[in-house]
Chain A
Amino acid sequence: RKEVEQDPGPFNVPEGATVAFNCTYSNSASQSFFWYRQDCRKEPKLLMSVYSSGNEDGRFTAQLNRASQYISLLIRDSKLSDSATYLCAGLKNNNAGNMLTFGGGTRLMVKP
């Protein structure tokens, strides 16, 4: 089983819709989690970090559930420009603390 798993989608939603992605992780030693956004043929860029208490940045809300070992990303009032692939990543607490493990990504397509 992969350490970080996501539903690849695609999620096709109309503009203005609310959409949520989940990401499950299998390594309970993961210390920190992140959501990255990747546009087609471009590099991933950090969207937001995920804190245990949950965090919100405008239309985006991230949550971490350690008991069930999943993180979520909620996008409200979807825009056409939100169309992209969303990658979740977990940082292992290994000797270096540097191993960022990514899920396969969830593709979102927002339609007019």
Chain B
Amino acid sequence: EAQVTQNPRYLITVTGKKLTVTCSQNMNHEYMSWYRQDPGLGLRQIYYSMNVEVTDKGDVPEGYKVSRKEKRNFPLILESPSPNQTSLYFCASKLAPYNEQFFGPGTRLTVL
């Protein structure tokens, strides 16, 4: 089944404890993105990647890192999480810029 997967789906952590949210897609898509969704602010792009080893900042990259060492995986790294990073995170992928974008099921992160 063609899909985007994320892990973990739910995570409660404490300020300053490094964490990684994994994202994987099995559709051989070139483009991958991370978004966060917050009430009243909608979906905002954190980082995106156009291909292996090619990444760029989105609208809200502060406090996040990404890597794209292989096409299928695009992990999101929070080196030192803070409470303002409590949010619902979505990974997404698509074949090309104008193609349909597929989202993962979301990761609900709480930073205490």
Instruction: Tell me the A residues contacting B by CB distance below 8 Å.
Output: 8, 31-32, 34, 41-46, 49, 87, 91, 96-105
Which residues of B are found within 8 Å of A8, using beta-carbon distances?
Answer: 40
- Chain B 92-112 near chain A by CB (<8 Å), digits 1 or 0: 000001101101111000000
CA distance A31 to B90 in the complex (A): 23
Total A-B contacts with CB atoms under 8 angstroms apart? 51
Q: Are A105 and B90 closer than 8 Å at their CB atoms?
A: no
Chain A CB within 8 A of B41 CB: yes
Q: Which residues of B from 15 to 70 have beta carbons under 8 Å from A?
A: 31, 33, 35, 40-45, 48, 50, 56, 58-59
Residue of B whose beta carbon sits closest to that of A93: B97
- State how many angstroms separate the Cβ of A86 from the closest Cβ of chain B: 12
Which residues of A are found within 8 Å of B105, using beta-carbon distances?
Answer: 42-43
Q: Are A43 and B90 closer than 8 Å at their CB atoms?
A: yes
Supposing A98-B31, A98-B50 touch, asked if A32 and B42 sit within 8 A by C-beta, the answer is no
Q: Are B103 and A104 closer than 8 Å at their CB atoms?
A: no
- State how many angstroms separate the Cβ of B98 from the closest Cβ of chain A: 6
- Binding site secondary structure of chain A: loop
Q: Are A42 and B106 closer than 8 Å at their CB atoms?
A: yes
Please pick, from B41, B101, B104, B106, the residue contacting A100 in the complex, using a CB distance under 8 A.
Answer: B101
CA distance A44 to B89 in the complex (A): 12
CA distance A8 to B40 in the complex (A): 8
Q: Are B50 and A43 closer than 8 Å at their CB atoms?
A: no
Q: Are A43 and B97 closer than 8 Å at their CB atoms?
A: no
Which residues of B are found within 8 Å of A98, using beta-carbon distances?
Answer: 31, 33, 48, 50, 97
New contact pairs (9) apart from A43-B103, A102-B42, A102-B44, CB-CB < 8 Å: A42-B105, A43-B90, A44-B43, A98-B33, A98-B50, A98-B97, A99-B45, A100-B45, A101-B59
Please pick, from A45, A87, A97, A105, the residue contacting B97 in the complex, using a CB distance under 8 A.
Answer: A97
Q: Are A96 and B48 closer than 8 Å at their CB atoms?
A: yes
CA distance A43 to B102 in the complex (A): 9
- State how many angstroms separate the Cβ of B25 from the closest Cβ of chain A: 13
